[in-house]
């Protein structure tokens, strides 16, 4: 399997605090990795470095040229209609590609709408279409479902899973939701004290059911790695 992302000994400090401190991570082409970690543990910092929005203070980071980020909020350009938002980073005359991407997220009928008229979930699907239309080799997702209601979040998870299986980018999904990580990812990582304290394959059969004992056992282990010990499997897995 060839490598899409290779990080060795990554260090990033703010003042005298090293937020990332000797972090190693490899992501293979087409692999879906979920990254869990407490608030302030450095997940967004890592994604920003991978997206070249921030620099490292040490270590080595190798990423593909074609990479895109989807944030928690859609960050659409309010003065551009939906289709123009999707094609904003493409050369001119790529409307057909934009429309295809919009149809993949079920929004082709909204091509001519203004962003302000969309629901939160729709706007986030436009952001996803804008990321996928560039055919990234690496897709960086920073809690893309966190602001959505529970039902929309589940639908978005299914959509992202489907789209990633169809397009096969390498994916790094940051989430606070342990169940989301286990449902979607090939591998799960936990970031703590500047490095990955957990990095393991998800050995749960598809379709992944939270009631499956293997699912519940991995959830318990991940919650323990995150410092949450008292949860029962019936609880949500959201930290």
Which residues contact Mg ion (rule: CB under 5 A)?
44
42 touches ligand ATP (CB under 6 A): yes
Residue 237 is given by DSSP the state: -
**Residue 41 touches ligand ATP, criterion: CB under 6 A:** yes
Does position 40 bind ligand ATP by CB under 6 A?
A: yes
Binding flag, residue 55, ligand ATP (CB under 6 A): no
Tokens describing residue 125: 């699907």
The answer to the question of residue 219 lying near ligand ATP (CB under 6 A) is: no
Phi-psi region of 16 (alpha: psi -120 to 50; beta: other; left: phi over 0): alpha
The candidate with the shortest Cα–Cα distance to 172, out of 38, 75, 64, is 64
Q: How far apart are CA 172 and CA 233, in angstroms?
A: 25
Judged by CB under 6 A, the stretch of 37-45, 104-112, 205-213, 225-233 that binds ligand ATP is 37-45
Which CB atom, from 37 or from 169, has the smaller least distance to ligand ATP?
37
Contact between 14 and ligand ATP per CB under 6 A:
yes
How many residues bind ligand ATP, per CB under 6 A? 10
Q: Does 19 bind ligand ATP (CB under 6 A)?
A: yes
**CA-to-CA distance for 162 and 160, rounded, in angstroms?**
5
* Binder of residue 41, out of Mg ion, ligand ATP, none (CB less than 5 to 8 A by kind): ligand ATP
Decide whether 44 or 85 has the Cβ nearer to Mg ion. 44
With binding defined as CB under 6 A, does residue 39 bind ligand ATP?
Answer: yes
Going by C-beta distance under 8 Å and a sequence separation of 6 or more, which residues neighbour residue 177? 145, 146, 236, 237, 238, 239
Transcribe 136-192 into DSSP letters.
-SEEEEESTTTTS-HHHHHHHHHHHHHHHHHH--EEEEE-SBHHHHHHH-SEEEEEE
Shortest distance, CB of residue 149 to ligand ATP, whole angstroms?
Answer: 20
Stretch that binds ligand ATP, among 35-43, 106-114, 133-141, 211-219 (CB under 6 A): 35-43
> To the nearest whole angstrom, how small is the minimum distance from the Cβ of residue 1 to ligand ATP?
28
Please compute, for residue 117, the number of CA atoms within 13 A of its CA located in the half-sphere on the CB side.
11
Alpha-carbon span 178 to 188, nearest angstrom: 9
Regarding 172 and contact with ligand ATP (CB under 6 A), the answer is no
Interface ranges with ligand ATP (CB under 6 A): 14, 19, 37, 39-45
């Amino acid at each position: 399997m060839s490598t899409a992302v290779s990080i060795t000994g990554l260090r990033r400090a703010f003042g005298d605090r090293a937020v990332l401190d000797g972090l190693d991570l490899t992501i293979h082409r087409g692999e879906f990795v979920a990254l869990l970690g407490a608030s302030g543990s450095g997940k967004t910092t890592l994604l920003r470095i991978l997206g070249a929005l921030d620099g490292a203070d040490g270590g080595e980071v190798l990423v593909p040229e074609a990479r895109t980020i989807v944030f928690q909020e859609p960050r659409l350009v309010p003065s551009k209609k939906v289709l123009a938002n999707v094609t904003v980073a493409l050369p001119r005359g790529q409307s057909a590609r934009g429309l295809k991407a919009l149809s993949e997220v079920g929004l082709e009928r909204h091509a001519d709408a203004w962003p302000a008229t969309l629901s939160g979930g729709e706007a986030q699907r436009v952001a996803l279409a804008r990321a996928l239309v560039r055919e990234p080799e690496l897709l960086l997702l920073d809690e893309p479902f966190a602001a959505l209601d529970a039902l929309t979040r589940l639908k978005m998870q299914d959509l992202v899973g489907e789209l990633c299986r169809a397009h096969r980018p390498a994916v790094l999904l940051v989430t606070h939701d342990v169940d989301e990580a286990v449902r979607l990812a090939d591998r799960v990582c936990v970031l703590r004290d500047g490095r990955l304290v957990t990095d393991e394959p998800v050995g749960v059969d598809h379709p992944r059911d939270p009631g499956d004992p293997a699912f519940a056992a991995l959830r318990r282990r991940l919650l323990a790695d995150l410092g949450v010990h008292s949860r029962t499997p019936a609880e949500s897995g959201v930290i």
